Structure 1
Amino acid sequence: MKVLVTASRKGGSGKTVVTRHLAVAALRSGIGRVAVVDLDPMRGLSRWWQRRPEDGLELVQLAPEGMPSSTHEDRAAAALAAAQQLDGVIPALSARGYGLLLIDTPPAADEIVRLAVRAADLVLVPVRPSPDDLDAVGETADLVAGLDRPMVFIINSATKRARLTGDAAVALSQHGTVAPSTLHRSDAYAASALDGLTVQESDPRGAPSGEVSALWGYVAKRAGLLTSDTANKLTKQPALRMVGGRKDK
């Protein structure tokens, strides 16, 4: 089993968007069971998953049962408790036949993120092509480098044919590898999320769907999940269906 972690010190960089889209793309690719873990106290990934039709994508709850969640501080404590379970849970998930685990993290460089990055096979750092986002990259890059984990920057919410997008790619390349596939700004990402879907499901022929497919193909090969031939067939794969089980609403 491989573990992918999305991390960024900057809020609003697109960590949750990238996590859910890559999770669904992975499920469609047929690599096996796919699970996600939400370590962000805002719980955007969890709320999206609750809206999602049952199709085999599984949300793994790691926080001890009964922890309070009424305040942000409560949820942050629960997220930290969940992150502290990763060392024991990852081998157990692998033994149960999971092919991939994706972990969403809060916009920070704190202990939650450190524990998640330490468990990663590959760290994905979404970055919007803006001066504020680029200024915040260094802290995340230093954290990942300090834990000796491979890292890939993903340019997200870019404007097509904008000079700033190219400039951002050049600036990011000074810190590490930049994914060749860019996700451009589109209302389709938010619209699909309303029903717990992704752009690949709501509009399979749209440009955003093609961008996500290309990104997943690159990430999958970089993480050692798929061969080039398999990755190129992603958009032709049907979605898997969950066999048994029910979401706890």
Structure 2
Amino acid sequence: MKVLVTASRKGGSGKTVVTRHLAVAALRSGIGKVAMVDLDPMRGLSRWWQRRPEDGLELVQLAPEGLPSATHEDRAGAALAAAQQLNGAIPALRAQGYGLLLIDTPPAADEIVRLAVKAADLVLVPVRPSPDDLDAVGETADLVAGLSRPMVFIINSATKRARLTGDAAVALSQHGTVAPSTLHRSDAYAASALDGLTVQEADPRGAPAGEVSALWGYVSKRSGLLASEPVSELTKRPALKLVGGRKGK
């Protein structure tokens, strides 16, 4: 099983968007069982998954049950508790036959992110091509480098044919590898999320879907994830208690 972690010190960089789209791309590619962990106290990935039709994509709940969640501080505490369980959860998920685990993290360079990055086979750093986002890259890059993990920058929400996009790629290349596949700005990302879907599902022939497909192709090779033969039926609810179900189901 491979572990992909999306991380960025800058809020709004597109970590959750990248996580959910790569998770669905992986599932549709036929690699088998795919799981996600949401370590962001904002819980955007969790809310999207709750809206999603059941199709085998799992959201793993690692925080102990009963922790308070009324405030952001409460949710941050629960996220830290979940991150501290990663060392035990990853072997358990591997034993269940999962081929890929994707971890979404908060916009920080704190202990939650450090624990997630430490568990990663590859760290994905989404970056919008803006001065503010580029200024924030260094702290994330230093954290990943300090833990000796491979890292790839993903240019996200770019404007087509804009000079700033090319300038951002050049600037990022000074810190590490830049994915050759860029995700351009599109309302399709937000529109598809309303139903718990992705652009690949909402409009398979659209340009955003093609960009996501290209990004998944690159990431799957870069991480060393080898696709297996497509499976005929995905397990929707494994027995392991680490995996949480949707409310009311």
Q: TM-score range by the shorter chain?
A: over 0.9
Alpha-carbon shift at residue 145 of structure 1 (Å): 0.0
Equivalent pair of 1:27/1:240 in contact (CA under 8 Å): no
Summarize the alignment of residues 48-87 of structure 1 with structure 2, pairs less than 5 Å apart: 48-87=48-87
Q: Quick one: distance in 2 between partners of 1:239 and 1:189?
A: 28
Residues 47-72 of structure 1 show CA distances to partners (whole Å, capped at 9, x for unaligned) of 00000000000000000000000000
Q: After TM superposition, what 4+ stretches of structure 1 lie above 4 angstroms from structure 2?
A: 237-246
TM-score (norm. length: structure 1)? 0.94
Deviation at 1:242, TM superposition (A): 4.6
Question: What corresponds to 1:88 in structure 2?
Answer: 88
Residue 73 of structure 1 aligns with an amino acid whose one-letter code is: E
1:125-150: CA deviations, max 9, x gaps? 00000000000000000000000000
Question: Aligned partners of 2:67 and 2:130: how far apart in 1?
Answer: 38
Deviation at 1:170, TM superposition (A): 0.1
Aligned counterpart, 1:247: 246
Matches within 5 A, 1:1-249: 1-226=1-226, 242-243=235-236, 247-249=246-248
Q: Is the 8 A contact 1:6 1:19 kept in 2?
A: yes
Q: Secondary structure at the match of 1:99?
A: strand
Contact 1:18–1:126 under 8 Å retained in 2? yes
What is the SS of the residue equivalent to 1:183? coil
Supply the distance in 2 between the matched residues of 1:247 and 1:241 (Cα, whole angstroms): 17
Q: Distance in 2 between matches of 1:214 and 1:131?
A: 26
CA distance in 1, matches of 2:209, 2:12: 21
Mapped partners of 1:143, 1:8: distance in 2: 10
CA offset digits 1:87-116 (Å, max 9, x no partner)? 010001001100000000000000000000
Answer whether contact 1:33 1:57 (CA < 8 A) is retained: yes
**Coordinate RMSD, CA, aligned:** 1.7
Q: 1:215 to 1:150 in 2, by over 3 A?
A: same
- CA–CA distance in structure 1, aligned partners of residues 217 and 23 of structure 2: 12
Q: 2:7–2:107: 8 Å Cα contact kept in structure 1?
A: yes
Contact 1:52 1:197 in 2 (8 A): yes
Counterpart Cα distance in 1 of 2:121 and 2:151: 9
| Aligned length in residues | 242
Identity of aligned residues (%): 88
Deviation at 1:248, TM superposition (A): 2.9
Cα distance in structure 1, aligned partners of 2:231 and 2:93: 24
Does the CA contact (< 8 Å) of 1:27 and 1:239 recur in 2? no
Distance 2:97 2:246 in 1: 20
Whole-angstrom distance in 2 between the partners of 1:21 and 1:94: 22
Deviation at 1:221, TM superposition (A): 0.3
Partners of 2:147 and 2:27 lie apart in 1 by: 28
Unaligned runs of 5+ in 2: 239-244
Q: TM-score, normalised by structure 2?
A: 0.94
> Could you list the runs of 5+ residues in structure 1 that have no partner in the other structure?
231-236
Separation of aligned partners in 2, 1:85 and 1:105 = 14
